[in-house]
Amino acid sequence: MTETQTRVRTVALAGNPNVGKTTLFNALTGSHQKVANYPGVTVERKSGRLAGVRAGGDGAPSTSAPGVEVVDLPGTYSLAPKSVDERVAFDALVGRIPGEPAPDVVVCVVDATNLERNLYLVTQVLDLGLPTVVALNMTDALDEAGIEIDVAGLAERLGVPVVETAARSGRGIDALREAVLDPPPPAQGVGWELMPAVQAAVAPLAEALGAESDVPPSQLHAEALGALTSDPLLAVWERRAPRFHQDVLDTRAALDARPVMYRMAEMTGRYGWISPVAADVVRQTAAAGQVTVSDKIDAVVTHRVWGPLIFGGVLLVIFQAVFSWAVPAMDAIEWLVGVTGQGMRAVLPDGVFEDVMVEGALTGVGNVLVFLPQILLLFLFLGIMEDTGYMARTAFIMDRAMRKVGLSGGSVVPMLSAYACAIPGIMAARTLADERERIITIMVVPLQGCSARLPVYVLFIAAFIPAGSLFGVIGYQGLAMTSLYVLGTLMAFAAAWVLRKWVFKGTGSSFVMELPPYRMPQPRYLWRRMVDRSKVFVVRAGKIIFGLSIVLWVLASYPKLDPPPALAAQMEAADQAAQDARQSLVDIDLSGRAELEGTERASIESALEAADAESLVAQNEWAGYQVRNSYIGRFGHALEPIMRPLGFDWKISAGIVASFAAREVIVSALATIYSAGADADEESLALRDAIKADTYPDGTKVFTPLVAVSLLVFFVFALQCMSTLAIAKRELNSWFWPAVMWGYMFVLAYGFSFAIYQGGKLLGLG
């Protein structure tokens, strides 16, 4: 590499949302990626080491680019930030993030099919005076869009290299790497003009900022203009440059008095330059104006009536597939855990350590891994929706409904993300510019059916919902699961309406989005995203479940008690009878008398079988006695009077409390309480049979279909996830709203479960 190349240490990817920036980042970095948080904020910092570049582009072997870090900045339409994500993108470009200098090179990723809109951000980046390369991405879609671009003419107008890329197919990636490692000199900006009154005001402000700060001279004009037109950018200088801050306020007052539309001056000036440039370099081909395949599909899938129906059908297919397709893989994991448990018992000495490792630790691992196939399937479908462009259509479709509850279509993306996990859904709300809408979205996102609810749904749906189908097509179990997700979504809308109407009053924000063309998903990127997101989920939930499974085993196993005298006598008698029968069989084998091999052996074997069954019954009774009098049993008994109106006994109550760490923990909690063994998960027949067979002292069933429905509905609404509360606190910088969130969701859960259980009993369904 040349001397110029060795000086490149940091490359920043900047661009509008949905321009293929993340796909380009993946192509540039390969597997050398890491995710952390920017200091002081919850915005994720995704970075990676620049992968190899072909020397000279002549097919020679690729060489490495040591020490070159590529940072994928949050998507932004402008450097006048409104959201937290946009603010981070701006601060990263100007070197205002603690410990991170400004990037050595900026790659502006541009959607080739929407050049004019994308050039607005490009001109702002060029005004910062940083070495810049423009990646003209999505060039593979130009033919369908009926567009041709004069790339050389565009590069000449911008004064920086323009590289044609199609990140999804890998076209142009080597050329972009070369351009990054041998970058042009700092950009000089373009010749756009401000209206004279605003330009006359910005010039002295830039001079004042230069005298009071260490802003590079090349960025003074851009910083001064940003402070004049953007409140978030002005707020930066209140402490850093107080005189400049006051000068801007005075200048604003003077311009307001005239009046001068200074806040719109930048947009007017930039598009005054961009529009003729785009008209010169973009040529519409003969195909322009024709109805594209995307247009034809959108005529159906975004239709006012058919759109929501199709969306509902898509959700039904997804959840039916998640319920049924994952079964073989889950069975295999269940078998593997069972075999592993048997092997561990064979090699470990009998005692407490063996029980902790098998019934505690291995159970915890199994309860994490067993529903991983369902999580992967869910992420697969969400990834397909996102990559094909249908995810954006769902936001467009749902915008009409969202406006009725005071939100916009922009809130749909966080809410859809929450179907996998509420945490990324809450974090996705950072892109919302309106603070009230952001808080409302965070408050209702946990009502969406996250993947952590799946084990709970699977366990009780499989145990109490028939396996038949409606009209021979739609399975009852898949329909039940879909209904639970729909119920949560509808309640999220209702909660948003209440919050907007009674708590966060005011006019809702506007929502503008561009529908990308439909595309075929790229399997390698789809698989990588599935694995990465599932890995994050398993690590987050797995640590909690693993540790809590051991804690639950301890709470359910201690204090150690001796069996009651009558039960001890029953166990001893059964064990003695079994021992005597086995000894009799040994005696027959040793005697060598053929006449004893007939009816006498059969009789003894029958007696042995009866003794073993009696011993198992006694052992189960002892296990039940132990759990009822353990720490967790006592705690469950204390809560039972509060939860009994919902149909929940002490075991369910104890499981609900344990599941506050993570919803899916109730499965391992019930498995421990019912002594279902190390292979007990939501697919375990032993656990299903145990809960179905459980009875109260009067012989009535503890679990009935009505109780199961009540519990399922409770988990639809209850915020049983301390990780969600923690991330909400980080995003809102206060425990107040997370506490309100937990409280109103518990009230919903208790109220709906109470109504279902008590109403069902009145109707004779109990």
- As a whole-number percent, the residues of the chain with pLDDT over 90 amount to 22
Kindly state the average pLDDT of the residues 360-381: 74
Contact (CB, 8 A) for 24 and 13: yes
Predicted local distance difference test score (pLDDT) of residue 64: 47
**Mean of all residue pLDDT scores within the chain:** 80
Is 50 exceeded by the pLDDT of residue 5? no
Predicted local distance difference test score (pLDDT) of residue 548: 63
CA 461 to chain centre: 24
Kindly state the average pLDDT of the residues 517-537: 74
Is 70 exceeded by the pLDDT of residue 614? yes
C-alpha to C-alpha distance for 630 and 608, rounded to whole angstroms:
32
Is 80 exceeded by the pLDDT of residue 91? yes
Predicted local distance difference test score (pLDDT) of residue 747: 95
Predicted local distance difference test score (pLDDT) of residue 245: 94
pLDDT band at 594 (very low <50, low <70, confident <90, very high): low
Predicted local distance difference test score (pLDDT) of residue 269: 92
Kindly state the average pLDDT of the residues 217-242: 90
Q: What is the pLDDT of residues 645-676, one digit of tens each?
A: 999 988 888 888 877 766 777 776 777 677 66
Is 50 exceeded by the pLDDT of residue 49? yes
Predicted local distance difference test score (pLDDT) of residue 285: 72
C-alpha to C-alpha distance for 484 and 709, rounded to whole angstroms:
10
Minimum mean pLDDT among 70-74, 90-94, 500-504, 585-589: which range?
585-589
Is pTM beyond 0.75 here?
no
C-alpha to C-alpha distance for 513 and 507, rounded to whole angstroms:
19
Kindly state the average pLDDT of the residues 362-386: 75
pLDDT band at 60 (very low <50, low <70, confident <90, very high): very low
Is 50 exceeded by the pLDDT of residue 59? no
Predicted local distance difference test score (pLDDT) of residue 289: 55
Contact (CB, 8 A) for 105 and 74: no
pLDDT band at 106 (very low <50, low <70, confident <90, very high): very high
C-alpha to C-alpha distance for 545 and 542, rounded to whole angstroms:
5
pLDDT band at 3 (very low <50, low <70, confident <90, very high): very low
Is 70 exceeded by the pLDDT of residue 549? no
H helix intervals, 499-522: none
H helix intervals, 30-111: 84-93
Predicted local distance difference test score (pLDDT) of residue 6: 46
* In the block, residue with structure tokens 């279509």: 409
Predicted local distance difference test score (pLDDT) of residue 642: 92
Predicted local distance difference test score (pLDDT) of residue 187: 84
Is 80 exceeded by the pLDDT of residue 41? no
pLDDT band at 314 (very low <50, low <70, confident <90, very high): confident
Predicted local distance difference test score (pLDDT) of residue 536: 60
Minimum mean pLDDT among 85-99, 224-238, 527-541, 648-662: which range?
527-541
Minimum mean pLDDT among 58-72, 100-114, 410-424: which range?
58-72
Kindly state the average pLDDT of the residues 337-363: 80
Predicted local distance difference test score (pLDDT) of residue 71: 92
Predicted local distance difference test score (pLDDT) of residue 672: 66
Predicted local distance difference test score (pLDDT) of residue 63: 46
Question: Which are the contacts of 415, defined by CB distance < 8 A and separation ≥ 6?
Answer: 425, 441, 444, 445, 448, 489, 492
Instruction: Identify the three-state secondary structure at position 163.
Output: strand
